[in-house]
Homo-oligomer: A and B are copies of this chain.
Amino acid sequence: MEKIKVGVLGASGYTGADLMRLALRHPAIELTVLTANSHAGKPVKDVFKHFSHVTLPDLIAIDEADWKNVDAVFCGLPHGTTQAITKQIFQTHPNVKIIDMSADFRLRDPVAYKEWYGLDHVATEIQPEAVYGLTELYRDEIVNARLIACPGCYPTAVLLSLVPLAREGLVDATDLVIDAKSGVSGAGRGLKENTLFCEAGEGLAPYAVGKHRHMAEIEQEIGRAAGLDGLRVNFTPHLIPMSRGELTTSYVRMKNGASAADLKEVLASTYAEDPFVTLLEGEALPQTQMVRGSNYVAMNVIPDRIAGRAIVISTLDNLVKGSAGQALQNFNLAYGLDETLGLEQLPLFP
């Protein structure tokens, strides 16, 4: 299989690492450029010891990258840094496709970007061509996109399970309570006290209550699905003492006489052909153990004890389907490859 030359920007973070893990075994990818400014000059295995077994290009600074040697770029940079580099790459190498795992192009409205991220959007002219990379719901756009803004990990879990319901008018989008739980890798590899083993271990903590930035994507996309402007949802994340995995428990009020079975039926028909979405049978409950290390999403709808309400549960691995895996899935689509290529790994349990 002919190789596509791939660059990974931000290769020293967890999403960058998981992208490399998958890309190294992808039959159509050759990793040619790996950047990590703070580790420039080092072998990757000095930064990620689990790559001691393989050969990779050394890490370089982003301004040392030779873009001629790159057909596609995966960005795993912090938000606020991707817009400028994307604009710059497109100016000199307009045929490169960029699959961005940061938040920089997810919000369609630059004003919202400024509001949530506190930064001016510096590439507003290319924002319109950014496709929101929630694969299963935007597949057609992704196929032809040059700039793919992969969703956040939480939004992926939430939107895959709620957008079809909102679109069909089966749930009241103005009364959504989304209780979210994530493993610690979702907080990234940066040094923070609350992600130390001794602080995050053997304990459970809500965080960013009412303020988490992923809320902006969720409101944007559910609002679009429900045809509502300025939608507000409850979204309350919790930090869980595990490395990987994310689970969202969404409490919905049904509309138009819908039942939990109706909700499930909509999800079933939406994802009937999707290789990575598993709608569980009966009242089987999603749990992160079902998806660890894989690109699968598992979901289900459970009737609530309160009449007229239902519970929609969704789980994924935040670094795979929630980030690097979905990015690779989008890459496959954008390059005309089988969507599952390089993503066939089954979950690791235990």
Contacts and interface: CB of A to CB of B under 8 A. Distances in A.
Interface of A: 14, 17, 21, 24-25, 48-54, 174-175, 177, 179, 181, 183-185, 189, 191-193, 195-207, 209-210, 215, 232-236, 238, 240-245, 247, 249, 251, 276, 278, 280, 283-294, 296, 298, 302-307, 309, 311, 313, 315, 344-350
A287 B195 contact: no
Contact of A344 (B25, B181, B205): B25
Given A233-B306, A243-B350, A304-B234, A184 B209 contact: no
A115 B303 CA distance: 19
Contact of A24 (B183, B289, B346): B346
A205 B348 contact: no
A346 B348 CA distance: 12
A46 to B, nearest CB: 9
Contact of A285 (B175, B206, B288): B206
B210 A305 contact: yes
11 contacts: A50-B348, A50-B349, A53-B294, A53-B296, A175-B306, A183-B202, A191-B193, A201-B242, A205-B289, A210-B311, A235-B305
Contacts of A52: 278, 280, 284, 290, 298
B203 A196 contact: no
Given A25-B346, A201-B242, A205-B285, 9 more contacts: A49-B284, A49-B290, A50-B289, A198-B350, A202-B350, A204-B245, A232-B306, A241-B242, A243-B350
Contact of A236 (B49, B202, B249): B249
Contact of A209 (B51, B177, B311): B311
Contacts of A203: 242, 245, 287-289, 292
Number of copies: 4
Nearest to A211: B305
Contacts of A241: 197, 201, 240-242
Most buried by B among A298, A345, A350: A350
- Interface pairs A-B: 9 shortest CB-CB: A205-B287, A198-B350, A203-B289, A191-B191, A179-B179, A50-B347, A50-B349, A184-B197, A197-B200
Contacts of A48: 349
Nearest to A244: B350
Contact of A196 (B197, B249, B292): B197
Contacts of A17: 349
A127 to B, nearest CB: 25
Contact of A199 (B24, B242, B315, B350): B350
Most buried by B among A196, A198, A287: A198
B288 A205 contact: yes
Nearest to A205: B287
A46 B184 CA distance: 21
A210 B344 CA distance: 34
